[in-house]
Amino acid sequence: MIETLSVPVPPIDDCWNRIGIHGDQSCAKLATYIHCRNCEVYARGAADLLDRLPRAAEDDADVAVGSMGGDIDVGGLDLASIQRDKQAFSSSTGEPLLVVRIGSEWLGLPARHVAQIAETGAVHSLPRLRSKAVLGLVNIRGQLTVCVSLARLLDLQERPESPESAVPSTLTSARSVHAPLARFLVGQDRSDEPCTVFPVDEVYGIARFKREHYRPVPATLSHASASHTRAIADWRDGTLGVLDGDKLFETLRRSLG
């Protein structure tokens, strides 16, 4: 009779839940990668997880994938289809928003709409564009992706008068961790739809906001901005507009149609 030996599988070091965007955000690598999904440690964790899935029971695999948190798209590994319907960041308190700056405006996009953050690159213009918001095409991991100006789509000022006027003074202490560099925000509404690139002037990172801290959108906002903003929240010395991701991508589809 042959005995089957059960070798214990070492746990995955889920640093993203401890010191990453789902934890206390104290990881020094966030200064470089902005989001854990762009880090090689996260990629190794995803690869390790994928290696284990075929050997795991279905229920165990479901729990393991859920522990990664958020949609994963790193190093060619895509677990989004497995956990698209899972509640994002279920172990965290408050709604996770990716906080970005466009001109002098701070905006929060629900994290479920964020595919990745990429370095800026060349934007290739297209002839006879129907929408003024469409800037052209950019190369994201070898894939030509439509690039759209959120500033034009939301009728926002595209550039601040000066760099200091756009950044609240209380953010100065955070600059060592979150460098104010322009980035490409790669957004996606549904997994069966192509991604869209939005240039932003600065990416702060993931922040969580409790819904009871949201306030109604003031009537002073422009029509385009107000119709895509579902709430505002206190943010440092000013306010942050909480974007309605569903309406944003609905408008985007009409613009590209």
SS3 sequence, 93-142?
CCEEEEEEEECCEEEEEEHHHEEEEEECCCCECCCCCCCCCEEEEEEECC
**What is the pTM for the complete model shown?**
0.61
Max Cα-Cα span within the chain? 79
For residues 236-240, give the mean pLDDT. Answer: 88
- Which pLDDT does position 166 carry in this prediction? 41
Distances (CA, A) of 232 to 152, 187, 212, 215, 222: 20, 21, 11, 5, 14
DSSP-derived 3-state class of residue 55: helix
Looking up tokens 């994002």, which residue turns up? 88
Paired tokens of 126: 């297209």
User: With the C-alpha atoms ordered 229, 232, 236, 238, is the resulting torsion angle positive or negative?
Assistant: positive
- Which pLDDT does position 50 carry in this prediction? 57
Type of residue found at 20: G
Residues 154 and 255 sit within 8 Å (Cβ to Cβ): no
The highest-level CATH class for domain 95-256 is: mainly beta
Q: Which of 89-93, 141-145, 177-181 has the lowest mean pLDDT?
A: 89-93
Domain boundaries, the chain: 15-83, 95-256
Long-range contacts of 45-53 (CB under 8 A, 24+ apart): 45/12, 45/13, 45/14, 45/16, 46/72, 46/74, 46/75, 46/77, 46/79, 47/75, 47/77, 48/12, 49/12, 49/79, 50/77, 50/79, 52/9
pLDDT class for 17, splitting at 50, 70, 90?
Answer: confident
- Which pLDDT does position 196 carry in this prediction? 94
| Terminal-to-terminal C-alpha distance of the chain | 66
- Which pLDDT does position 256 carry in this prediction? 82
pLDDT in tens, 165-222: 344 333 333 333 444 689 999 999 988 888 999 999 999 888 889 888 899 998 877 7
Paired tokens of 26: 């104290």
